[in-house]
Amino acid sequence: MARLGTACPALALALALVAVALAGVRAQGAAFEEPDYYSQELWRRGRYYGHPEPEPEPELFSPSMHEDLRVEEQEQQEPHQQGHRTPKKAIKPKKAPKREKLVAETPPPGKNSNRKGRRSKNLEKAASDDHGVPVAHEDVRESCPPLGLETLKITDFQLHASTSKRYGLGAHRGRLNIQAGINENDFYDGAWCAGRNDLHQWIEVDARRLTKFTGVITQGRNSLWLSDWVTSYKVMVSNDSHTWVTVKNGSGDMIFEGNSEKEIPVLNELPVPMVARYIRINPQSWFDNGSICMRMEILGCPLPDPNNYYHRRNEMTTTDDLDFKHHNYKEMRQLMKVVNEMCPNITRIYNIGKSHQGLKLYAVEISDHPGEHEVGEPEFHYIAGAHGNEVLGRELLLLLLHFLCQEYSAQNARIVRLVEETRIHILPSLNPDGYEKAYEGGSELGGWSLGRWTHDGIDINNNFPDLNSLLWEAEDQQNAPRKVPNHYIAIPEWFLSENATVATETRAVIAWMEKIPFVLGGNLQGGELVVAYPYDMVRSLWKTQEHTPTPDDHVFRWLAYSYASTHRLMTDARRRVCHTEDFQKEEGTVNGASWHTVAGSLNDFSYLHTNCFELSIYVGCDKYPHESELPEEWENNRESLIVFMEQVHRGIKGIVRDLQGKGISNAVISVEGVNHDIRTASDGDYWRLLNPGEYVVTAKAEGFITSTKNCMVGYDMGATRCDFTLTKTNLARIREIMETFGKQPVSLPSRRLKLRGRKRRQRG
């Protein structure tokens, strides 16, 4: 009894100490999770550049604590997680989840987490060594989506750094895949670069809410002249930007392997997810002959917080029940098949040729009479994926064809009118070989150029014949002008030879455009947010940038503005530029040649060789956004995609016939004051895109008398009908009569020569 009595005080003291410790832990947890605390932090505006490097602090974010949080989150989300993984086959398009669900369900960073790129080699070992907590293989692969440094969802005000060399190398430039200008000037350089090369430099991200951080992706500096990248770094997290906790590897700070060159992205996943508001990267070593420079993306899942007004205000959701995921080649074909089965009366799947690797270039036609050209109905096309790694355009077109089918079935009056009055062609993937390469890398680790070119290394977008030079040379030879028309310029013979460096995909598109009388088209690209209109090639040989308008410059400007003005972000003067170019002076549009000269572009070829007015539509700063971004990108572009298609009905249209009512093909339609003509299709019908106004229009055809009339174009949607009936010339009528009776018409000049010859022989 005496022993028990003497032991009780010691036991009571021990229990009291445990209770105090538990209370401290609860208080600490409350400090991190208390809404009032977080609200204060959210609205607090402060600059963090002046804080000294923090001393090592007690471990607040212990792996064991976060392991418990992770288990709790998994238990709460378990019903959702089972259905999260996208099936290999697109069976039935699924309804778009709300954005809050998208970020909370921790989707993989790339397509089905199949990231190529580079990954830290000792991640799994480090994770298992960290306090002996094992991390399952799936936990390493399954991670959170990017916070949005590359997509600009993270604003410049959320990025801070210890020091910077100059403004153009500030923290706001430390975004994954950001590109520097050619001159690398003070405003637009290609990375964050520290002002000093020492171990006290850092760059941090303020997520503005509690976030479960799971990984970091880094690149070096984008530069034509310099080689700068970080070879190793530490990761720290904080809730107040003052007290920082370093990610541990066992008992010591974990050193993450960085880059070995400046462009290939490198992913490092944290051994255990860390919950905090701020995350900081602290470089530990860098390229010997370079400086501390880096671009980065952070992987993280924002935690649910109903008190976060900022997040709710900027949240984007969609009500469209579409298949928001990345589709590889097989899944793309399957989705096309599903749409065709849903709307068999208005859709047709066909291919225009094959890629270098033998993949078919599939297109979907949407029309009330698929498979046939209807007289008087204009033809429109969208093309995407000329650069295989510019994936957003591809997915937008797949969403569009699914959307058109759904809305037509639901009898949406606007869509029904569009489908019944237009023959629409959608080619989602012009370069499937390049896309498959980018798809293997994934949305974050593909880099800026993986998959851009065809399998044989050709840039399709610049692989068309240069017809601009042929036209301009003829116009410049005033003394002895060559007979080169201002439209339908013939393709040079050397380009058609088998030995020419022309991609099989390029030849397929040319044949497609020569077969179908397209009136308007848009080719979707990525990496910027602007609509570019022709010409794409400068006329002055010694310049790389020069405004070079077409004769239809006013029409092209309107077409470009029709897309840009209805996009949610393109004409927003407050939005941040993607890389170095600010296109707000022309309200989200740009003349291609004034941006950068390109010889042999699809836009210029379409304008000079066919009737089609083609524009390049750059749909997003991020070429290959994460799946979780697709609903928002769809909302950004949906109205623009539809409005641009509707512009095919602007201007004049009609049929050129003979006196018997038969359509005349290849009749030339000229507009006074516009030095660019078009031609009628095989049935004699034509469409001429024009802005509102009164025009003097002329129709002429070989063997017919030219006809001219005034045609008025109004402001209301719908092309003005302007038909022509042409009468055959006397010579053409004589020839027709003589051919009917099996005789050739008499040639008067040759008859005179014969008579003179007879007289000479008689005199002799």
Could you report the per-residue pLDDT of 388-421, keeping only the tens digit for each? 999 999 999 999 999 999 999 999 999 999 999 9
Tell me the average pLDDT across 575-586: 91
Residues 6+ positions from 290 with CB-CB distance below 8 Å? 220, 221, 226, 227, 228, 229
Query: What tokens were used for 54?
Result: 């923090």
CA neighbor of 522 nearest in space, from 416, 408, 640: 640
Same domain? 223 vs 287: yes
Which DSSP symbol is given to 436? H
Q: Is residue 49 part of a domain?
A: no
Same domain? 623 vs 664: no
Q: What pLDDT, on a 0 to 100 scale, did the predictor assign at position 700?
A: 95
Lowest mean pLDDT segment, chosen from 206-210, 724-728, 730-734: 730-734
Same domain? 398 vs 528: yes
Amino acid at 488: Y
Which DSSP symbol is given to 346? T
Q: What is the CATH number of the domain that holds 241?
A: 2.60.120.260
Q: What is the CATH number of the domain that holds 704?
A: 2.60.40.1120
Residues 6+ positions from 726 with CB-CB distance below 8 Å? 656, 657, 658, 664, 667, 699, 700, 701, 704, 705, 706, 707
Q: What spatial distance separates the first Cα and last Cα of the chain, rounded to whole Å? A: 163
pLDDT of residue 87 exceeding 70: no
Whole-angstrom distance, CA of residue 603 vs CA of residue 524 = 12
Same domain? 436 vs 461: yes
476 falls in which pLDDT band (50, 70, 90)? confident
Q: Is residue 263 part of a domain?
A: yes
Whole-angstrom distance, CA of residue 217 vs CA of residue 297 = 5
Q: Residue 481's Cα: distance from chain center in Å?
A: 42
Residues 6+ positions from 300 with CB-CB distance below 8 Å? 144, 145, 146, 147, 207, 211, 212, 213, 214, 279
Same domain? 291 vs 367: no
Q: Is residue 409 part of a domain?
A: yes
CA distances for 499 relative to 413, 493, 503, angstroms: 51, 11, 11
Query: What tokens were used for 573?
Result: 């003067």
59 falls in which pLDDT band (50, 70, 90)? very low
Whole-angstrom distance, CA of residue 326 vs CA of residue 328 = 7
| Backbone dihedral angles phi then psi of residue 123, each to the nearest 5 degrees | -65, -50
Q: Is residue 565 part of a domain?
A: no
Same domain? 361 vs 259: no
Q: Is residue 762 part of a domain?
A: no
Domain finish residue from 648, 664, 681: 648
For 203-243, write each residue's pLDDT tens digit. 999 999 999 999 999 999 999 889 999 999 999 999 999 99
Q: CA torsion sign, 43 to 49 to 50 to 55?
A: positive
Q: Is residue 11 part of a domain?
A: no
477 falls in which pLDDT band (50, 70, 90)? confident
Whole-angstrom distance, CA of residue 117 vs CA of residue 264 = 7
- Asked if 454 and 460 touch (Cβ cutoff 8 Å), the reply is yes
Per-residue 3-state assignment (H helix, E strand, C coil) for 731-742: HHHHHHHHHHCC
- pLDDT, averaged across the chain: 82
Which DSSP symbol is given to 709? E
Residue position matching structure tokens 């036991």? 11
Same domain? 454 vs 345: yes
Q: What pLDDT, on a 0 to 100 scale, did the predictor assign at position 626?
A: 95
- Asked if 282 and 202 touch (Cβ cutoff 8 Å), the reply is yes
Segment (H or E) for 470 = helix 468-476
> CA-CA-CA-CA torsion for 259, 578, 171, 153, nearest 10 degrees?
-100
Same domain? 629 vs 692: no
Q: What pLDDT, on a 0 to 100 scale, did the predictor assign at position 339?
A: 97
Q: What is the model's pTM?
A: 0.80
382-406: burial string, b at 16+ Cβ within 10 Å, e else: bbbbbbbbbbbbbbbbbbbbbbbbb
pLDDT of residue 604 exceeding 90: yes
Same domain? 415 vs 522: yes
Lowest mean pLDDT segment, chosen from 133-137, 214-218, 506-510: 133-137
Query: What tokens were used for 507?
Result: 């030849």
Domain containing 391 equals 329-534+604-648
Same domain? 211 vs 339: no
Q: CA torsion sign, 181 to 186 to 188 to 191?
A: positive
Q: What pLDDT, on a 0 to 100 scale, did the predictor assign at position 343?
A: 97
Same domain? 288 vs 355: no
Work out whether strand 613-620 and strand 528-533 pair parallel, antiparallel, or are unpaired: antiparallel
For the chain, percent of residues with pLDDT exceeding 90: 67
CA neighbor of 724 nearest in space, from 749, 745, 743, 705: 705
Whole-angstrom distance, CA of residue 386 vs CA of residue 390 = 8
Q: What pLDDT, on a 0 to 100 scale, did the predictor assign at position 738?
A: 72
747 falls in which pLDDT band (50, 70, 90)? low
Query: What tokens were used for 118?
Result: 């580079």
Whole-angstrom distance, CA of residue 152 vs CA of residue 177 = 12
- Asked if 390 and 449 touch (Cβ cutoff 8 Å), the reply is no
For 426-440, write each residue's pLDDT tens digit. 999 999 999 999 999
Q: Is residue 391 part of a domain?
A: yes
- Asked if 203 and 176 touch (Cβ cutoff 8 Å), the reply is no
Q: What pLDDT, on a 0 to 100 scale, did the predictor assign at position 318?
A: 84
Q: Which stretches of 110-196 are DSSP H helices? A: 123-129, 137-141
760 falls in which pLDDT band (50, 70, 90)? confident
Most confident of 11-20, 344-353, 723-732: 344-353
CA neighbor of 373 nearest in space, from 659, 724, 684, 666: 684
For 652-708, write each residue's pLDDT tens digit. 999 999 999 999 999 999 999 999 999 999 999 999 999 999 999 999 999 999 999
Q: How many domains does the chain have?
A: 3
Same domain? 640 vs 666: no
Tell me the average pLDDT across 128-152: 60
Tell me the average pLDDT across 282-299: 96
58 falls in which pLDDT band (50, 70, 90)? very low
- Asked if 244 and 282 touch (Cβ cutoff 8 Å), the reply is no
Domain finish residue from 269, 303, 337: 303
Q: What pLDDT, on a 0 to 100 scale, did the predictor assign at position 184?
A: 72
- Alpha carbons within 13 A on the beta-carbon side of 754: 6
Whole-angstrom distance, CA of residue 295 vs CA of residue 733 = 74
Q: What pLDDT, on a 0 to 100 scale, did the predictor assign at position 96?
A: 38
Q: Is residue 77 part of a domain?
A: no
pLDDT of residue 25 exceeding 80: no
Query: What tokens were used for 705?
Result: 């008398």
Q: Residue 451's Cα: distance from chain center in Å?
A: 14
- Asked if 418 and 356 touch (Cβ cutoff 8 Å), the reply is no
Angle at 378 between CA 374 and CA 383, to 5 degrees: 115
Rg (CA), the chain: 33
DSSP track, 589-603 = EEEHHHH---SS-HH
> CA-CA-CA-CA torsion for 396, 400, 406, 412, nearest 10 degrees?
130
Query: What tokens were used for 610?
Result: 């066919």
Q: What pLDDT, on a 0 to 100 scale, did the predictor assign at position 734?
A: 74
Domain finish residue from 614, 648, 682: 648
Q: What is the CATH number of the domain that holds 640?
A: 3.40.630.10
Tell me the average pLDDT across 246-273: 94
